[in-house]
Amino acid sequence: MSTPSDVLVVGASAAGLSTAEALRRKGFSGGITLLGDEPHLPYDRPPLSKQVLSGAWEPDRARLRTPEALDALDVRFVLGDPASSLDPATRSVGTASGAVLRADAVVLATGARPRTVAGQAGLGGVHVLRTLGDASALRADLLGGGRVVVVGDGVLGAEVAATARGAELDVTLAGPQRAPLAAQLGPLVSGVLGELHAQRGVNLRLGTAVRGLTARDGRVSGVRLDSGEVLPADVVVVALGAIPNTDWLIGSGLRLDDGVVCDARCRAADGIYAVGDVARWYHEGLGALVRLENRTNATEQAAAVAGDVVGGERSYVPVPYFWTDQFDAKLQVHGVLAPGAEVSVVEGDVAARRFAALYERDGEVVGVLGWNMPKQARQLRQKHLVELRDLTGSHVTATEVEKADF
């Protein structure tokens, strides 16, 4: 395909904005339109569960770029108008308001939405956390005090529990794993994280799945566990992962299977790409389809797609990276902390809660973890994890990579 004269990016969050920025940086001078379903200019989601939820930041501070930087980008924003249909043959996108936008290349960056539990819809006091509006609503409810139950023991759930506990609320964290982030960190480090939460006063109710919610007068009153026990709650946060936003693409002819299925260059069809949380692309190193939800993937995949749009033709083979901040712990995860990997602490001291560790499988390093040692973790990554291309499927599988992702 020759270089397109214009590009339509469907999605105006981190992946969408990064696509536009990378196109300009790589010299693309054609028209760029960003179509977003939310009314806001691009903002960042990682602070929502931390600085915005705690009130340390005003919501405005979550914006990704200054107005001046967005002006300089020379991009047309169409906001508050969700995409509703795609015709890949003409590369036309229909919107909820009835508009039709067309471009030579279309980049799908519609992200993902929170998974919910049965009976959650319309019930007062129950929250998810994905958007700025979600964060404001949850913060308002937390300011009312009471018992908070967080459903979900992954990154988001553990961060929300830490933030709510930092506000001195009565917080319970419930989920099926033995420790928070067990799938992402492995047993040793997730155990240390569980100890940290317990020491800071979070009531951990782990090892039992959540069956549903109890309600009284239209408002949540508790969380029912598989054991039948009910945890009383005034506020419930459901953090059970996310579902890629592909419903609007049903009938488009694109292959949809837990995301928009793409080739190694993130192409879903001729002139159609996908980036970020919604993209499930063929990872050449792993020899399988992978979908990553971490923040860094949004920008790195956007840069790869922008490169392809302007004629680069390189396959996308990233080293996954995510971070999480909980209480005074800053964790950095590079690569994959695969289950059953041999963990060796190579710097610092676990007891002092400042250490860096290598995760090895078959004698190969597949992941690096830093606990309050970010610089050292990055240096270990540079030494041991040049590209996941080197990690063939014999060391880690695509499923393990996805499970270990944010």
Partner 1 sequence: MKITVDEDRCCAGGSCVLTAPDVFDQRDEDGVVLLLDPEPAGHLHDAVREAAEVCPSAAITLSEAG
Interaction site with partner 1 (CB under 8 A): 18, 21-22, 25, 44, 46-47, 64-66, 69, 72, 295-296, 299-300, 303, 321, 323, 325, 330, 332, 370, 372-375, 377-378, 381-382
Choice between 69 and 250, CB closer to partner 1: 69
By CB atoms closer than 10 A (0-12, 13-18, 19+), residue 382 is exposed
Least distance to partner 1 from the beta carbon of 172, Å? 27
Least distance to partner 1 from the beta carbon of 201, Å? 24
Choice between 245 and 376, CB closer to partner 1: 376
Choice between 175 and 335, CB closer to partner 1: 335
Per the CB < 8 A criterion, the answer to whether 281 and 274 are in contact is: yes
What are 353's two structure tokens? Answer: 């809660």
Choice between 46 and 111, CB closer to partner 1: 46
- DSSP 8-state code for residue 4: P
Q: Which of 284, 275, 263, 280 is nearest to 388 (CA)?
A: 284
Choice between 70 and 231, CB closer to partner 1: 70
Choice between 166 and 212, CB closer to partner 1: 166
Choice between 48 and 236, CB closer to partner 1: 48
186 φ/ψ sector (left φ>0, alpha ψ -120 to 50, else beta):
left
Choice between 102 and 383, CB closer to partner 1: 383
| DSSP E strand stretches across 248-363 | 260-262, 267-269, 272-274, 279-283, 288-290, 321-326, 329-335, 342-349, 354-361
| Spatial distance between the Cα atoms of 314 and 9, rounded to a whole number of angstroms | 20
Neighbours of 21 (CB within 10 A): 22
HSE (CB half, 13 Å, CA atoms) of 67? 2
Least distance to partner 1 from the beta carbon of 385, Å? 11
- β-partners of residue 323 are 332
- β-partners of residue 212 are 224
Least distance to partner 1 from the beta carbon of 7, Å? 16
Least distance to partner 1 from the beta carbon of 306, Å? 10
Per the CB < 8 A criterion, the answer to whether 360 and 344 are in contact is: yes
Neighbours of 74 (CB within 10 A): 11
Torsion angle of the four alpha carbons 80, 85, 293, 338, in this order, in degrees rounded to the nearest 10: 170
